[in-house]
Homo-oligomer: A and B are copies of this chain.
Amino acid sequence: MKNKKYLAGKHFVHIPGPTNIPDRVLRAMDKQIIDHRGPEFSEMAVRIIDNLKKVVKTKNHLIIYPASGTGAWESAIANTLSPGDKVLVYETGHFSNLWIDVARKFKLEVDVIPSDWRSGAKIELIEKKLIEDKEKKIKALMMVHNETSSGVKYNIQKISQKIQDLKHPCLLMVDTVSSLASSNFENDEWKVDVMVGGSQKGLMLPPGIAFNTVSPKALEKYRSSTLPKYFWDWEMMIENNKNGFFPYTPAVNLMFGLEEAMKILNEEGLDNVFSRHTRLANATRKAVEGWGLEIFCNCVESYSDSCTTIFSPKGIDPDHLRSVILNEFNISLGMGLSKIKGKVFRIGHLGDLNEVSLIGVLGGIEMGLSKVGYKIKKSGTQEAINYLAH
């Protein structure tokens, strides 16, 4: 479908990632390539890995792939597990389910804790599974930190604590794709063995690079894993990374951008980045409540800092609503995914974003709601302004 008319002004990217790319990051990538086997590159690569470790709060290995987040999922599995291994997955939504698909394709036995996607983890369900696992057959617990389809954030710290308390030897693997550099994530403090991250959300980059952290325990599992890997092979990466090199051609220009993005994060300060995300997320939810719409996440302490999933008003197709908002007001919103497709729409509020942009976008959504015939309870935009002003 073509946009029928010329849309003046800025396009507002409010899918829950990829996110708006700061001009500084675009300009940093808008630069001639350098030799990825030369001294300038290797010095930069060492700096980037060191700085990214600070963002992720880890002293473990940190690996950068020229790939997207899905690849970093596959990498987490292929590097640590063997066919027939059992893994436990908490169903958080569309993205946990895709990760389950990856695991099944790799011939793992996947034990899924089902959920309605709408609240945080019921830790007692994880506890039960781990206690029942007398023979320690569960080799890994796969968790999503922030589920982008539902707008629900999971308490990785508490889940990790439970694994420690039970002294269960499983690896803890965490998808941080839509939480990284938006919500606090403490890789080492939370004893995360493998983190799965991407560039195109809180890190404010285009898609195209993805990350794993690798704990000593995960590296030990690597030694006995029999799943085939080459492109994802951790050892080859770690060995080459020591001197700032890569076993194959890295995504050089995206790395220029990553270095600049981390400078920006550092200037704002990570804690300020996180509190800004929480503030803008709260403002968004104030607006949604003002409009009289229902937030998909039904558990306040599990609200996402990155995105909000909202039930479409009764009788209104959310994809029609999104299309009106795109074509009239130049805002991209996220669609419902998998089982909630056609039921919800999603507002991304992460990355390079401030109050004024968000208020504009909320205003656009408010006008879109009106255009499709929904009568709002009250001005959500005004609610957001009131919240942000105080």
Interface presence of A46 (CB below 8 A) = no
Q: A36-B207, A38-B326 are in contact. List 9 more A-B contacts (CB 8 A).
A: A18-B252, A21-B32, A34-B332, A37-B335, A66-B67, A67-B71, A70-B248, A207-B250, A227-B228
Stoichiometry (number of copies): 2
In chain A, positions 37-74 with a C-beta closer than 8 Å to chain B are 37-40, 43, 65-71, 73-74
CB–CB B68/A68 < 8 A: no
Q: List the 9 shortest-distance A-B pairs measured between CB atoms, nearest first.
A: A208-B251, A70-B248, A206-B253, A35-B332, A30-B30, A207-B249, A102-B230, A18-B33, A105-B230
Q: Which A214-266 residues have a C-beta within 8 angstroms of B?
A: 227-231, 233, 247-254
Which residues from B are CB-within-8-Å of A32? Answer: 11, 13, 20-21, 26
By DSSP majority rule, is chain A's interface helix, strand, loop, or mixed? Answer: loop
Contact of A39 among B3, B21, B67, B105 (CB under 8 A): B3
Asked if A68 contacts B66 (CB within 8 A), the reply is yes
User: Are the C-beta atoms of B1 and A39 separated by less than 8 Å?
Assistant: yes
Q: A73: which B residues are within 8 A, CB to CB?
A: 230
A-B contacts, 26 of them at CB < 8 A, read: A2-B39, A3-B40, A11-B32, A11-B34, A18-B33, A20-B32, A21-B32, A21-B253, A26-B31, A26-B32, A29-B253, A33-B200, A38-B326, A38-B332, A66-B66, A66-B207, A67-B71, A68-B248, A68-B249, A68-B250, A68-B251, A70-B230, A102-B231, A105-B228, A200-B249, A208-B209
Q: Is the CB of A35 within 8 A of B15?
A: yes
In A6-30, the 8 Å CB interface with B consists of: 11, 13, 15, 17-21, 26-27, 29-30
A107 at the interface (CB under 8 A from B): yes
Given contacts A29-B29, A102-B230, A105-B230, contact A249 B34 (CB under 8 A): no
Residues of chain B contacted by A107 (CB below 8 angstroms) = 228
A40, A208, A247, most chain B CB atoms within 10 A: A208
Q: Tell me whether A374 is interfacial, beta carbon within 8 Å.
A: no
Pick the residue among B34, B78, B83, B105 that contacts A13 (CB under 8 A): B34
Flag whether A106 is at the interface (Cβ < 8 A): yes
Q: Is the CB of A69 within 8 A of B248?
A: yes
The answer to whether A101 has its CB under 8 Å from any CB of chain B is yes
A5 to chain B, nearest CB (A): 14
Looking at A30, A83, A105, A209, the one whose CB has the most chain B CB atoms below 10 A away is: A30
Return chain B residues, CB-CB under 8 Å to A31.
26
Residue A197 is within 8 A (CB to CB) of chain B in the complex: no
Q: How far is the CB of A240 from chain B (nearest CB, A)?
A: 12
A198 an interface residue at 8 Å Cβ cutoff?
A: yes
Query: A208 touches which one: B35, B253, B334, B335 (CB < 8 A)?
Result: B253
Bound: A345/B375 CA distance, A: 71
On whether the beta carbons of A70 and B231 are closer than 8 Å, the reply is yes
Q: How far is the CA of A332 from the CA of B34 in the complex (A)?
A: 8
Distance in Å from the Cβ of A160 to the closest Cβ of chain B? Answer: 26
Q: Could you say which residues of chain B place their CB within 8 Å of the CB of A39?
A: 1-3
Contact among B18, B29, B253 with A249 in the assembled complex (CB-CB below 8 Å): B18
Q: B252 near A206 (CB under 8 angstroms)?
A: yes
Given contacts A67-B71, A332-B35, contact A106 B26 (CB under 8 A): no
Q: Could you give, for residues 325-346 of chain A, a 1 whenever the CB lies within 8 Å of some chain B CB and a 0 otherwise?
A: 0100000101100000000000
